[in-house]
Amino acid sequence: MQKVKYARANSVDEAIALLEKGGATARPLAGGTDLIVQARERRRQVELFVDIKPIPETQDLKYDARDGLTIGASLPAYKIYGNENVRRLYPALVDATSVIGGTAIQGRASLGGNLCNSSPAADSVTAMIALEAVANIAGPKGRRSVPVETFATGPGRNVLEQGEFVVSIHFPAPAPNSGTAWDRFIPRNEMDIAVVNAGVQLHFDGGRVSWAKVAIGAVAPTALVVPAAAEALVGRPLSDATIKAAAEAAMAAARPIDDMRGSIRQRKHLVGVYVERMIRKAAERARGG
């Protein structure tokens, strides 16, 4: 392990000041399930951990029927999937947060850490994209909000500038007659990262799909939104044919690599399988299933 100093930030302003002063080798510390491993293995040069967990805003979970859901960036996964409003209204978020690592990891791992680590395979990210989540960022120049779908700019890279960190993540209130679903393909639970993951949100109006979002992960340098998959669904009643067209659009959009976890062919095939499954599951949930 490299030598790392630790500083506790008790407020947003304190965290910004510590991060600014610390420069490029100061990192926000949430659960540490990525950061501490990276520092120990010297995959990332870190001289200062700025612990953001003591900041009340990063540990909050608030739901309002009009404004939606706001989750503090450092709140651990188990408090997210254990929340009654999240379970009732944001099932895709439960699908994703309840499979990150195992129970011990879920006691620490946060949405902010999953997002800011910016792995192309990060599990909660495709769920957050399907749910139209927005990251609330604070920094030396003030506050700004960035949609999760444009947050990552490449593997391990994102839009955050020096001194900035994510304070919370906001999710709009669910639309009437809507459903969400998320799942991943992984060879060994709790032991590995996803070969493919997919998140879907569908809105229905009078039997037709009126709006859709399809996001896929681990098949490109960042998670991908697939507008062509949504277009294959919107304006029509959901049918085997429209679902197949959406799955094929997602397969065409995927740009996976060959590696020890899977080949390009297998990953493209899995994208089709998982997008189809998530569309069916989101539709079932929209019908109250």
Nearer to ligand FAD, 15 or 200 (CB): 15
Instruction: Tell me which stretch binds ligand FAD (CB under 6 A): 6-14, 87-95, 158-166, 277-285.
Output: 158-166
Min separation Cβ 82 and ligand FAD, Å: 16
Phi, psi at 279, each rounded to 5°:
-65, -45
CA-to-CA distance for 215 and 227, rounded, in angstroms? 9
Instruction: Tell me which stretch binds ligand FAD (CB under 6 A): 94-102, 227-235, 244-252, 259-267.
Output: 94-102
Instruction: Decide if 204 contacts 286 (C-beta within 8 A).
Output: yes
Which listed residue (105, 159, 173, 245) binds ligand FAD by CB under 6 A? 105
How many residues bind ligand FAD, per CB under 6 A? Answer: 31
Instruction: Decide if 100 contacts 109 (C-beta within 8 A).
Output: yes
Round the CA-based radius of gyration of the chain to a whole number and report it. Answer: 19
Min separation Cβ 160 and ligand FAD, Å: 6
- The kind and range of the H/E element at 145 are strand 142-147
**Using CB under 6 A, which residues numbered 63 to 92 contact ligand FAD?**
73-74
Instruction: Tell me which stretch binds ligand FAD (CB under 6 A): 6-14, 32-40, 243-251, 256-264.
Output: 32-40
Query: Interface with ligand FAD includes 110 (CB under 6 A)?
Result: yes
Instruction: Tell me which stretch binds ligand FAD (CB under 6 A): 109-117, 207-215, 251-259, 263-271.
Output: 109-117
Query: Interface with ligand FAD includes 114 (CB under 6 A)?
Result: yes
Q: Alpha-carbon torsion 259, 260, 262, 265, what sign? A: positive
Using DSSP bridges, classify how beta strands 142-147 and 134-139 pair: parallel, antiparallel or unpaired. Answer: antiparallel
The SS3 assignment for 227 reads helix
- Residue nearest ligand FAD (C-beta atom): 113
Q: Which of 272, 201, 210 is nearest to 236 (CA)?
A: 210
Which listed residue (112, 174, 199, 262) binds ligand FAD by CB under 6 A? 112
Nearer to ligand FAD, 31 or 262 (CB): 31
| Number of neighbours of residue 273 by Cβ within 10 angstroms | 15
Give start and end residues of each alpha helix (H) in 58-102: 77-81, 84-89, 91-97
Query: Interface with ligand FAD includes 166 (CB under 6 A)?
Result: yes
Instruction: Tell me which stretch binds ligand FAD (CB under 6 A): 29-37, 201-209, 236-244, 264-272.
Output: 29-37
The SS3 assignment for 155 reads coil
**Using CB under 6 A, which residues numbered 184 to 243 contact ligand FAD?**
193
Instruction: Using the structure block, give the residue that is written with the tokens 């030598």.
Output: 3
Give start and end residues of each alpha helix (H) in the chain: 12-22, 35-40, 77-81, 84-89, 91-97, 103-106, 111-117, 123-130, 227-233, 240-253, 264-286
Residue 185's DSSP bridge partners are 196
Which listed residue (4, 27, 152, 268) binds ligand FAD by CB under 6 A? 27
Footprint on this chain of ligand FAD (rule: CB under 6 A): 27-35, 37, 52, 73-74, 99-101, 105, 108-110, 112-114, 116-117, 122-123, 160, 165-166, 193
